[in-house]
Amino acid sequence: MFFHEPELQYEVTVEDPDPHFAKLLQQAIGGQEGEMRVAMQYMFQAWALPDEYEAYRDLLMETATEELGHIEMLASAVTKNLRGSPKQMRDDVEETAAAAAAMTGQNPRQYLSSGLSAMPVDSNGVPFTGGYVVASGNLAGDLYANVMAEATGRTLATRLWEYTDDPGMKDMLSYLIARDTMHQNQWLEALESLDDPVPVPASFPQEQENQDVNYAFMSTRRDPQPDPGYPWTQGDTPDSKGQFSYLAEQPGDGEVVAPDPDPSTYNDPEE
């Protein structure tokens, strides 16, 4: 259940409206690094958890709902950058969609399809896709995915912060960057609270996996190379369940020979 209050989570002001920056902000809404992705990701992860993981479910849902507020903030910022642009620019935009793209660098669909409003798309106008969402049903695996999502989201927000000179936009982005900092740390802390979560899934009996290669770094060079002595080729593994080793060659065996095809597939080009 959701409730809505008619105020933004954090104030959004635009002092110098920029239609091109509005296009860039769309990446933070509907792009692979955007807020729609993490909001949907955390929700679907939460909905998969049974009662014994109630604390983690609450953590995910609280954060997912916060991310919805971030979408609202960014949508407001996009619209203010589009509709607050100088009148001459608006007049040029209204003449042709091509002028919008040529003169302002904005996505012409922001005029043609949304009437100078935010859209559920990325900076290239590609619609948001659920393919960005990671919700495996395994809490540990999902938490690792969440660290990555917040890391790439924070990277995007910092690039947007560097790009703009508008004080209001910098202030909004500073808030979003700070929340990404918190979210990265909370997911890492949640991982620490789990009992032996790696390798994911930890519930699979490791004696059933190939013991010759489960902690071996494998070189794929044509000519065998000596062990470079990196941390991932020797020493204790992070899960404390093995020792890293180095394989100079891939195991290699057998040939790539496909069985004869079913005649009904008509794979044979000859009569």
Architecture of the domain made up of 19-193: Up-down Bundle (1.20)
Instruction: Quick: pLDDT tens for 18-76.
Output: 999 999 999 999 999 999 999 999 999 999 999 999 999 999 999 999 999 999 999 99
Where are the extended beta strands (E) located within the chain? Answer: 216-218, 235-236, 243-247
Q: Give the span between the Cα atoms of 238 and 52, in whole angstroms.
A: 27
Q: For the chain, percent helix, then strand, then coil, each to nearest 5?
A: 50, 5, 45
How many CB atoms neighbour CB 171 within 10 A? 14
pLDDT given for residue 102 in this prediction: 58
Q: Give the span between the Cα atoms of 18 and 102, in whole angstroms.
A: 14
Instruction: Retrieve residue 149's tokens.
Output: 């999502």
pLDDT given for residue 145 in this prediction: 97
| Confidence category of residue 162, pLDDT binned at 50, 70, 90 | very high
**Sheet of strand 216-218: strand arrangement:** 216-218, 243-247, 235-236
Q: What is the pTM of this model?
A: 0.87
pLDDT given for residue 46 in this prediction: 97
User: Is residue 263 pLDDT above 50, yes or no?
Assistant: yes
| Confidence category of residue 97, pLDDT binned at 50, 70, 90 | low
Q: Give the span between the Cα atoms of 250 and 102, in whole angstroms.
A: 53
| Confidence category of residue 2, pLDDT binned at 50, 70, 90 | confident
Instruction: Quick: pLDDT tens for 11-27.
Output: 999 999 999 999 999 99
pLDDT given for residue 137 in this prediction: 95
pLDDT given for residue 119 in this prediction: 87
pLDDT given for residue 88 in this prediction: 47
Q: Give the span between the Cα atoms of 167 and 252, in whole angstroms.
A: 59
Instruction: Retrieve residue 211's tokens.
Output: 């013991």
Per-domain residue ranges of the chain: 19-193, 205-248
pLDDT given for residue 271 in this prediction: 75
Average pLDDT over residues 190-205: 91
